């Protein structure tokens, strides 16, 4: 038992350096919410229900544009599809747990949890050690996120509009984009998707986003085989 507690606190400790990235993102999320005229309780409720910053920021801009209900749901679901990767990676250790632990740990899965808990050093530990470590990281991140959004709500009301703070949202997505591009194929996917997003931004009901993502992913699936075929014809 003592050993497991050690793993939990190890997880909390490993998350600390990542807080420098989570805190400002939470501040932006909270501040933007109130700047759109939503009341603070609503922003907190939204944050707790979503527990997904990127989806929340995307939802803000769609709400602002008066996009239809179903488009907002579809867009946020596509953004959150990445959680399926995390769910798949942790299924072997979390799947056999009793329901209440399985559900609560699934609810607090996040990008940072995936990043820390899928490192080679973690994979070498035994199953219960990994669960306790994951719980430490996930819980620490959850608390950090909620506190930083609430701080953002408190501070956000005082920020003047001409600072164009809403531009921090695309900048934050751009910074994340740069770190996710790790190969030439992923760069092509981003280019296709970005160009389509511009080309289709006037499509009705803000559906351009979904069209662009589908185009980018299809490009990523088809390009390698096309390029291979081209290579063969040169032989």
Partner 1 sequence: MSDNLQLWLLFIVVGLGTFFIRLSFIQFHGSAEALIARSKHILMLLPPAILAALCIPAIVFTRPLTAYQPDYFQWIAALIAILIARFSRSVFWPVTGGMICLWLLRYMSS
Tell the smallest beta-carbon distance from residue 68 to partner 1 (Å). Answer: 10
Tell the smallest beta-carbon distance from residue 189 to partner 1 (Å). Answer: 5
| Contact call for residues 134 and 12 (beta carbons, < 8 A) | no
Q: Which stretch binds partner 1 (CB under 8 A): 2-10, 128-136, 150-158, 214-222?
A: 214-222
Return the number of the residue (20 or 233) whose C-beta is nearest partner 1. 20
* Binding residue (CB under 8 A) for partner 1 from 7, 8, 14, 28: 28
| Contact call for residues 148 and 112 (beta carbons, < 8 A) | no
Site for partner 1 in 125-164 (CB under 8 A): 163-164
Site for partner 1 in 168-187 (CB under 8 A): 168-181, 186-187
- Maximal CA-CA distance, the chain: 65
Told to check if 196 binds partner 1 by CB under 8 A, we report yes
| Contact call for residues 58 and 76 (beta carbons, < 8 A) | yes
Site for partner 1 in 41-100 (CB under 8 A): 42, 45-46, 48-52, 54-55, 58-59, 61, 63, 69, 72-73, 76-88, 90-92, 94-96
Distance CA 152, CA 27 (A): 4
Tell the smallest beta-carbon distance from residue 225 to partner 1 (Å). Answer: 12
Token representation of residue 120: 């080679």
DSSP string, 186-210: HHHHHHHHHHHHHHTTTSGGGTHHH
| Contact call for residues 204 and 227 (beta carbons, < 8 A) | no
Token representation of residue 22: 């989570």
Token representation of residue 88: 């798949």
Tell the smallest beta-carbon distance from residue 9 to partner 1 (Å). Answer: 23
């Amino acid at each position: 038992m003592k050993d497991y507690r050690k793993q939990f606190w190890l997880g909390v400790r490993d998350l600390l350096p990542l807080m420098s990235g989570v805190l400002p993102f939470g501040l932006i999320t909270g501040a933007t919410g109130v700047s759109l005229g939503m009341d603070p309780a609503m922003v907190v409720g939204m944050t707790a229900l979503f527990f997904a910053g990127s989806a929340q920021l995307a939802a803000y801009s769609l709400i602002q544009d008066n996009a239809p209900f179903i488009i907002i749901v579809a867009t946020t679901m596509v953004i959150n599809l990445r959680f399926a990767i995390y769910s798949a990676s942790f299924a072997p250790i979390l799947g056999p747990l009793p329901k209440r632990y399985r559900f609560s740990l699934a609810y607090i899965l996040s990008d940072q949890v995936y990043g820390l808990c899928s490192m080679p050093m973690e994979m070498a530990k035994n199953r219960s050690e990994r669960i306790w470590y994951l719980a430490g990281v996930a819980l620490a991140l959850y608390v950090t996120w909620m506190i930083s959004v609430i701080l953002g709500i408190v501070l956000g009301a005082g920020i003047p509009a001409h600072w164009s703070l809403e531009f921090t949202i695309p900048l934050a997505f751009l910074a994340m984009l740069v770190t996710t591009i790790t190969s030439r194929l992923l760069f092509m996917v981003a280019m296709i998707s970005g160009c389509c997003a511009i080309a289709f931004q006037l499509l009705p009901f803000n559906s351009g986003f979904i069209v662009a993502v589908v185009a980018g992913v299809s490009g990523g699936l088809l390009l390698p085989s096309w390029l291979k075929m081209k290579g063969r014809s040169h032989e």
